[in-house]
């Protein structure tokens, strides 16, 4: 299966294998095929206020000449060498960012020569999609530019939680402590899904690892009538 950027939609998830030492450690420690996750966002930008993200509610009040759309990726990245500027404030930096997916994909490290990534398609409920989308844009506007999580103890908390049975942890109210001043990649995407009312709040966003977003833990905690398709491997 090949990646077609035109077929992607907001809330689709992309999973990556890294070539760095840190990425390999994450994959081994978490028994995961993936070390990084990002979310597709089809963004609408204000032509007259460069970088301003529009909600669908705002877009509907405008003529098509006053905004433009772009397929982007939301992620929390620790890549200090990225050459791609963010779409909102046009800066090169680490941390929470929204960048053009077409520009960003070539510079993300891939873990094998076939350039395989993971893909989970969001099966949208069209009746409420606009509500979910507007909540997501509000979340992005609030946390754009937040720092990448560098606290190793926070990673250990997530690792221990995911090595245990998460249903056991839920029963006994055991989960990592929530903090939103900085984000791991999986923490950012989980928090975005919770704030968009797609994931329920039985677990806080710190409890999700990259692998848990790729499999059953995500599926078990989606809100009613919402669904992600099973992960497929796709080629770039």
Taking only the tens place, the pLDDT of each residue in 1-16 is: 667 888 899 999 999 8
CA distance 158 to 212: 11
The CA–CA distances, whole Å, from 203 to 47, 85, 155 equal 38, 33, 16
Which two structure tokens, joined as six digits, stand for 140?
């992005």
CA distance 72 to 89: 14
- pLDDT digit string, tens, across residues 130-181: 999 999 999 999 999 999 876 555 555 555 555 555 444 444 444 555 567 7
- Percentage of the chain beyond pLDDT 90 is 44
| Averaged pLDDT, 180-192 | 89
- Amino acid 170: pLDDT: 46
CA distance 210 to 192: 14
- Amino acid 211: pLDDT: 86
* 5: DSSP letter: G
pLDDT level of residue 202 (50, 70, 90 thresholds)? confident
Which two structure tokens, joined as six digits, stand for 204?
């806080």
CA distance 198 to 190: 9
Classify residue 199 as exposed, middle or buried by CB count within 10 Å of its CB (0-12, 13-18, 19+).
buried
Q: 64-101 b/e with 16+ CB inside 10 Å = b? A: eeebeebbbbbbbbbbeebebebbbeeeebebbbbbbb
Q: Are strands 232-235 and 182-183 parallel, antiparallel or unpaired?
A: unpaired
> Does the pLDDT value for residue 50 go beyond 90?
no
The CA–CA distances, whole Å, from 156 to 2, 26, 163, 215 equal 35, 11, 10, 20
Mean pLDDT estimate for the chain? 81
Whether the Cβ atoms of residue 45 and residue 54 lie closer than 8 Å to each other: yes
Of 207 and 166, the one with more pLDDT: 207
Q: 168-192 b/e with 16+ CB inside 10 Å = b? A: ebeeeeebbeeeeebbbbbbbbbbb
pTM for the structure as a whole = 0.86
Which two structure tokens, joined as six digits, stand for 40?
């597709």
Of 209 and 153, the one with more pLDDT: 209
Whether the Cβ atoms of residue 15 and residue 118 lie closer than 8 Å to each other: yes
Q: How many domains is the chain partitioned into structurally?
A: 1
Whether the Cβ atoms of residue 75 and residue 107 lie closer than 8 Å to each other: no
> Does the pLDDT value for residue 112 go beyond 80?
no
Domain that holds residue 151: 5-235
């Amino acid at each position: 299966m090949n990646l077609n950027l035109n077929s992607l939609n907001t809330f689709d998830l992309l999973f990556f294998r890294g070539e760095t030492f840190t990425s390999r450690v994450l994959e081994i420690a978490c028994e995961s095929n993936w070390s990084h996750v990002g979310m597709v966002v089809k963004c609408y930008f204000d032509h007259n206020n460069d970088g301003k993200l529009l909600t669908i509610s705002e877009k509907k009040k405008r003529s098509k000449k006053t905004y433009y759309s772009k397929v982007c990726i939301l992620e929390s990245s620790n890549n200090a060498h990225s050459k791609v500027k963010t779409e909102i404030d046009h800066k090169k930096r680490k941390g929470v960012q929204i960048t053009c997916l077409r520009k960003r994909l070539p510079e993300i490290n891939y873990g094998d020569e076939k350039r395989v990534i993971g893909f989970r398609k969001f099966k949208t409920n069209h009746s409420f999609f606009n509500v979910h989308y507007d909540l997501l844009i509000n979340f992005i506007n609030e946390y754009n530019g937040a720092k990448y999580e560098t606290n190793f103890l926070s990673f250990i908390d997530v690792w221990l939680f995911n090595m245990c049975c998460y249903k056991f942890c839920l029963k006994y109210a055991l989960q990592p402590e929530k903090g939103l001043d900085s984000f791991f990649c999986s923490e950012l995407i989980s928090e975005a899904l919770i704030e968009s009312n797609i994931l329920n709040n039985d677990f806080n966003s710190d409890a999700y690892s990259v692998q848990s977003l790729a499999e059953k833990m995500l599926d078990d905690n989606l809100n009613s009538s919402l669904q992600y398709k099973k992960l497929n491997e796709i080629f770039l």
